[in-house]
């Protein structure tokens, strides 16, 4: 493993051709890797629809992007709060009404290392609720439009899937008994990754034409911990992110942009930086631990998720 199919430098945006006429949806695109992915896609002529929770931050991000790429840059935002399923439903409906083509939906938004157990509007543990349940619902609403567009779904995971429980805690999805900022975050990122592999299987079984790719950004200097982490983690991450151990948010965006644009990627795979224990370096295919592809757990997670959010995901 780690033989990079894109050569020594790994995948870079130089490989992307002209993206005129292509439309990409990115959740959490006003900051961090999502914002940088937006910049890369706009620089290639694509249209980007940001799905963000904050109107003020979105306007600010769009202003910055128009300063960089000109007033005609095709970027807009639709308000969506993944911590509120009614907001995801509203955003989904607005997308169906206003976005006729989806070349890729990049499930990028997340919260991480929330210090104390919190709940989404619908009563889910916040990290699982935002990172997994919210995106699951969004993907289910947009699936047919993505299929009509022969598009893709990109799930942004985390190396955290290898930490914590390494499985899904079905008897306590809300972590009432053992809440832990990091373990609970890792659980939510594992859930996202398992959802993606299960979705791949269901798509193939139904003979549908949607690709699903899983990636991670390595360790990247973004606002992730600053936004949702506790004070101790914010201080530690603030210091570490100034060292060469942590790459730029722009580099952190490469894997998700690659998964949204590159042809002939392998599906049952996991992409991201391949060096320094997969935290940085050339982007390519990474080693994937087998527990992420425990399809019995993945199938059960799918059923539990449908029950929890009260919506079937019909592939
Ligand atoms: N940075 C790393 O080292 C690292 C490592 C492993 C994995 N990741 C993954 O990389 C992805 C991108 O994160 P990032 O590092 O770029 O973090 P970031 O800078 O904090 O960006 C996260 C984005 O998600 C949005 N978001 C958070 N909660 C939301 C909600 N309820 N509804 C809608 N949007 C919401 C944020 O909006 P606001 O601006 O309004 O908060 C922000 O736009 C995440 O999936 C994360 O798990 C990052």
Q: Is the CB of 278 under 6 A from ligand 1?
A: no
Q: Is the CB of 31 under 6 A from ligand 1?
A: yes
pLDDT of residue 2: 47
Q: Is the CB of 19 under 6 A from ligand 1?
A: no
3-state secondary structure of 284: strand
For residue 209, the tally of other CB atoms under 10 A from its CB is: 12
3-state secondary structure of 274: strand
| Cα distance between residue 194 and residue 197, in whole Å | 5
Is residue 237 within 8 Å of residue 305, measured between CB atoms? Answer: no
- Ligand 1 centre from 114 Cα, in Å? 12
For residue 250, the tally of other CB atoms under 10 A from its CB is: 16
Pocket test for ligand 1, best of 25, 26, 27, 28 (most atoms within 8 A of CB): 28
Please list, in sequence order, all residues whose beta carbon lies within 8 angstroms of the beta carbon of residue 6, skipping any fewer than 6 positions away: 12, 15, 282, 283, 284
Q: The tokens of 201 are what?
A: 């299987």
- Ligand 1 centre from 108 Cα, in Å? 6
- Ligand 1 centre from 206 Cα, in Å? 32
Q: Give the pLDDT means over successive 10-residue stretches in the chain (315 positions).
A: 82 97 98 98 98 98 98 97 98 98 98 97 98 98 98 98 97 98 97 98 97 96 87 86 90 98 96 93 96 98 98 96
- Ligand 1 centre from 227 Cα, in Å? 8
| Cα distance between residue 23 and residue 101, in whole Å | 6
Q: The tokens of 64 are what?
A: 């910055």
Q: Measuring from atom 18 of ligand 1, which residue has the nearest CA?
A: 224
Query: Which ligand 1 atom sits nearest the alpha carbon of residue 219?
Result: 3
In this prediction the pTM is 0.97
Domain residue ranges in the chain: 13-307
| Cα distance between residue 219 and residue 280, in whole Å | 7
- Ligand 1 centre from 107 Cα, in Å? 10
What is the residue whose two structure tokens read 């991000």? 61
Q: Is 45 exposed, middle or buried (0-12, 13-18, 19+ CB in 10 A)?
A: middle
Torsion of CA 298, 300, 304, 309, to 10 degrees: 40
Measuring CA to CA, which residue among 210, 222, 295, 292 is closest to residue 253? 222
pLDDT of residue 224: 87
pLDDT of residue 209: 95
Pocket test for ligand 1, best of 110, 127, 129 (most atoms within 8 A of CB): 110
pLDDT of residue 1: 47
Q: The tokens of 224 are what?
A: 């992730």
Catalytic center residues: 185
User: Among 3.30.750.24, 3.90.226.30, 3.40.50.720, 3.40.1440.60, what is the CATH number of 13-307?
Assistant: 3.40.50.720
What is the residue whose two structure tokens read 């190396």? 159
Q: Is the CB of 88 under 6 A from ligand 1?
A: no
Measuring CA to CA, which residue among 295, 235, 299, 228 is closest to residue 268? 295
pLDDT of residue 50: 98
- Ligand 1 centre from 146 Cα, in Å? 23
Q: Is the CB of 110 under 6 A from ligand 1?
A: yes
Q: Is the CB of 137 under 6 A from ligand 1?
A: no
Spacing of C-alpha 169 from chain mean position? 21
Q: The tokens of 172 are what?
A: 């306590």
3-state secondary structure of 211: strand
């Amino acid at each position: 493993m780690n033989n990079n199919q894109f050569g020594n430098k790994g995948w870079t945006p130089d490989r992307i051709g002209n993206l005129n006429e292509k439309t990409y949806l990115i959740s959490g695109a006003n900051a961090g890797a999502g914002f940088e992915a937006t910049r890369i896609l706009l620089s290639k002529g694509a249209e980007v629809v940001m799905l963000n929770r904050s109107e003020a931050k979105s306007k600010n991000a769009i202003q910055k992007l128009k300063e960089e790429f000109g007033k005609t840059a095709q970027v807009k935002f639709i308000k969506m709060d993944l911590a509120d399923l009614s907001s995801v439903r509203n955003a989904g409906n607005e997308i169906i009404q206003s976005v006729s083509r989806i070349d890729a939906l990049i499930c990028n938004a997340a919260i991480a290392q929330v210090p104390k157990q919190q709940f989404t509007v619908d009563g889910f543990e916040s990290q699982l609720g935002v990172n997994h349940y919210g995106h699951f619902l969004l993907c289910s609403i947009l699936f047919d439009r993505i299929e009509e567009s022969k598009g893709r779904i990109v799930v942004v995971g985390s190396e955290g899937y290898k930490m914590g429980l390494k499985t899904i805690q079905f008897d306590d999805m809300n972590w009432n008994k053992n809440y832990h900022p990091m373990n609970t975050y890792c659980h939510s990122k594992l859930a996202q990754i398992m959802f993606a592999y299960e979705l791949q299987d269901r798509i193939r079984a139904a003979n549908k034409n949607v690709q699903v790719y899983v990636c991670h950004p390595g360790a990247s200097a973004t606002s992730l911990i600053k936004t949702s982490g506790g004070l101790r983690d914010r201080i530690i991450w603030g210091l570490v992110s100034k060292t060469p151990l942590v790459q730029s948010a722009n580099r952190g965006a490469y894997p998700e942009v690659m998964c949204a644009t590159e042809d002939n990627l392998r599906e049952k795979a996991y992409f991201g930086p391949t060096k320094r224990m997969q935290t940085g370096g050339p982007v390519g295919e990474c080693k994937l631990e087998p527990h992420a592809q425990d399809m019995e757990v993945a199938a059960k997670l799918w059923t539990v998720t449908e029950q929890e959010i009260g919506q079937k995901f019909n592939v």
